[in-house]
Amino acid sequence: MAAAGTGTPSSRTALSPPAPLPYDVAAACRFVLLVALLLLAGGQVSVGDALSIGVNYGQIANNLPSPARVSWLLRSMRIGKVKLYDADPNVLRAFLGTGVEFVVGIGNEAVPSMVSPAAAQAWLQQHVVPHLRAGARIACVTVGNEVFKGTDAALQAAVLPAVQSVHRALAALGLQGRVNVTTAHSLDVMGASFPPSAGAFAAAALPHLRPFLAFLSATRAPFLINCYPYFAYKDDPARVPLEYVLFQPNAGVADARTGLRYDNMLYAQVDAVYAAIQALGYTDVEVKVSETGWPSRGDPDEPGATPENAGTYIRNLMRRIEMKQGTPMRPDTPVDVYVFALFNENLKPGPASERNYGLFYPDGTPVYNVGLQGYLPPMLVSAAGAPQPQVQYLFFFLDVFICHACKHWVRSVG
Ligand SMILES: *[C@@H]1O[C@H](CO)[C@@H](O)[C@H](O)[C@H]1NC(C)=O
């Protein structure tokens, strides 16, 4: 302000009437108002126009951009669904007002404690309720991730009681029906998956999955499965046709028992899960793909992990998801997919592929081109560490234009 430094605020208001605003201040105010209006309009457009595909936002890394910048990146790509492995309050806050829908997670280490009703309620009170009150969209809580992949029998036995406990705690908080409660499985729960109609759960998982499916059916919550056709290709590249796993033109595979034809492995895996669920007597539980992806780089013994293959997989997957395609067994249920993952995560243990599943490098440059140019705003911070307001307004302004440009571009290429 022009008068700054000429006295304390109280003496100024007491002694002199407010001076007319200098022209540039008035103009700046009008600019801010205009940007705010554009932002409101842009925010409404963003909800209705979001892509159908979701993305996993993992954070096992020490070099990722701040959640505020990631929120810009995802909105510039029109991503409307994000899955987290925790309930990071910084992420949920950074996305407030964007309309983006979240899946939040309770880590495996906390699963056994959630069996206690008080602990489940406390977790929700801390990690979910304040964000819902502030307007966040949280559609689902996953209690544990891939617990049947390991051999921790105590953890496996705790999953269903923990899921039930979180579900009851939601009801106690008056949130029944607003948030689904489930867990995410790896394909290790399957004992048989080919042909898809012969899909069956592994004997070891069956005693846990039978009552779990009864719960999902009763609460109308989805069965989440992490599917990686890449693993099948990597294990047997000589016999698994690359075209079949990359959604490219190929002869396909017939299921002799049903007469259904599969032109890609992902749909065959999803239908094998549907068949396994149906074998237990449930036809009303939806299967969603909580993770799928392809690494752009791997160790020498990880064939097929290239940027070309990863780009082809994601590009073709996105095309089908945006077509709202169903699988051969469930043609009327569009496959719901969360891509793994948003960023390469440099602190993930295991083979090199594990650190190279990202759509983006941590600096926001795309690892391969999938026809979606994201925009990661530059990191501009004031001395105090908070983003400068002028810079934020500039970003809002840029966002509106970039989002609209992307939208038209995606339409024209799609
Ligand atoms: C819960 O899951 C069901 C089945 O997938 C889905 O139809 C419903 O929309 C989900 N609820 C929320 C709040 O997203």
d(CA 81, CA 75): 10
User: 136 pLDDT exceeds 80?
Assistant: yes
At 49, is the pLDDT very low, low, confident or very high (cuts 50, 70, 90)? confident
- Burial class of residue 287 in the structure, from the number of CB atoms within 10 Å of its CB (0-12 exposed, 13-18 middle, 19+ buried): buried
Kindly state the percentage of the chain with pLDDT values over 70: 80
What is the structure's pLDDT at 374? 78
User: 133 pLDDT exceeds 90?
Assistant: yes
Q: For ligand 1, pick from 101, 220, 338 the residue to mutate: most ligand atoms within 8 Å of CB.
A: 220
Catalytic one among 101, 109, 243, 291? 291
Of 89 and 38, the one with more pLDDT: 89
At 80, is the pLDDT very low, low, confident or very high (cuts 50, 70, 90)? very high
Q: Is the C-beta atom of 220 inside 6 A of ligand 1? A: yes
User: 412 pLDDT exceeds 60?
Assistant: no
- Provide the domain count of the chain: 1
Residue 196 lies in a domain: yes
What is the structure's pLDDT at 10? 36
Q: Report CA(179)–ligand 1 centroid distance (Å).
A: 8
User: 116 pLDDT exceeds 90?
Assistant: yes
What is the structure's pLDDT at 379? 75
Strand 287-292 with 337-339, pairing? parallel
Residue 396 lies in a domain: no
Torsion of CA 253, 302, 287, 49, to 10 degrees: -100
**Is 146 considered catalytic here?**
yes
Residue 13 lies in a domain: no
Alpha-carbon distances, residue 262 vs 59, 192, 197, 258, 316 (angstroms): 34, 17, 12, 11, 15
Q: Helix and strand tally (H, E) in the chain?
A: 13, 12
At 375, is the pLDDT very low, low, confident or very high (cuts 50, 70, 90)? confident
Q: Say if residues 290 and 142 touch (Cβ distance below 8 Å).
A: yes
Q: Say if residues 261 and 328 touch (Cβ distance below 8 Å).
A: yes
**What integer is the mean pLDDT of 249-253?**
97
What is the structure's pLDDT at 58? 98
Q: Which of 33-42, 88-97, 197-206 has the lowest mean pLDDT?
A: 33-42
Handedness of CA 82, 299, 315, 199 (dihedral sign): negative
Q: Report CA(177)–ligand 1 centroid distance (Å).
A: 9
What is the structure's pLDDT at 260? 98
Query: Which atom of ligand 1 is closest in space to residue 221's alpha carbon?
Result: 2
Residue 24 lies in a domain: no
317 closest CA partner among 286, 296, 292, 298? 292
Which residues does 382 contact at the CB level (< 8 Å), separation at least 6?
A: 388
Instruction: Note the pLDDT tens digit of each residue in 222-235.
Output: 999 999 999 999 99
Which residues does 27 contact at the CB level (< 8 Å), separation at least 6?
A: none
What is the structure's pLDDT at 102? 98
Q: What range defines the domain where residue 262 resides?
A: 52-388
**Is 291 considered catalytic here?**
yes
Instruction: Note the pLDDT tens digit of each residue in 332-359.
Output: 999 999 999 999 999 999 999 999 999 9
Which residues does 321 contact at the CB level (< 8 Å), separation at least 6?
A: 51, 52, 53, 334, 335, 337
Q: Report CA(10)–ligand 1 centroid distance (Å).
A: 55
Residue 267 lies in a domain: yes
What is the structure's pLDDT at 3? 34
265 closest CA partner among 230, 229, 240, 234? 229
43 closest CA partner among 104, 96, 103, 102? 96
Instruction: Note the pLDDT tens digit of each residue in 90-107.
Output: 999 999 999 999 999 999
Residue 6 lies in a domain: no
Residue 28 lies in a domain: no
Q: Is the C-beta atom of 132 inside 6 A of ligand 1? A: no
User: 46 pLDDT exceeds 80?
Assistant: no
Mean pLDDT over all residues of the chain? 87
What is the structure's pLDDT at 393? 52
- Indicate which CATH number applies to the domain containing 105: 3.20.20.80
Q: Is the C-beta atom of 334 inside 6 A of ligand 1? A: no
d(CA 175, CA 180): 10
Residue 17 lies in a domain: no
Of 46 and 215, the one with more pLDDT: 215
What is the structure's pLDDT at 408? 56
User: 406 pLDDT exceeds 70?
Assistant: no
Instruction: Note the pLDDT tens digit of each residue in 285-331.
Output: 999 999 999 999 999 999 999 999 999 999 999 999 999 999 999 99
Q: Is the C-beta atom of 286 inside 6 A of ligand 1? A: yes
Kindly state the percentage of the chain with pLDDT values over 90: 77
* 295 CB neighbour count, 10 Å cutoff: 28
The residue nearest atom 13 of ligand 1, judged by CA position, is 139
What is the structure's pLDDT at 405? 57
Query: What's the token pair of residue 218?
Result: 């009763």
What is the structure's pLDDT at 399? 57
Q: Is the C-beta atom of 217 inside 6 A of ligand 1? A: no
What is the structure's pLDDT at 394? 60
Strand 54-56 with 337-339, pairing? parallel
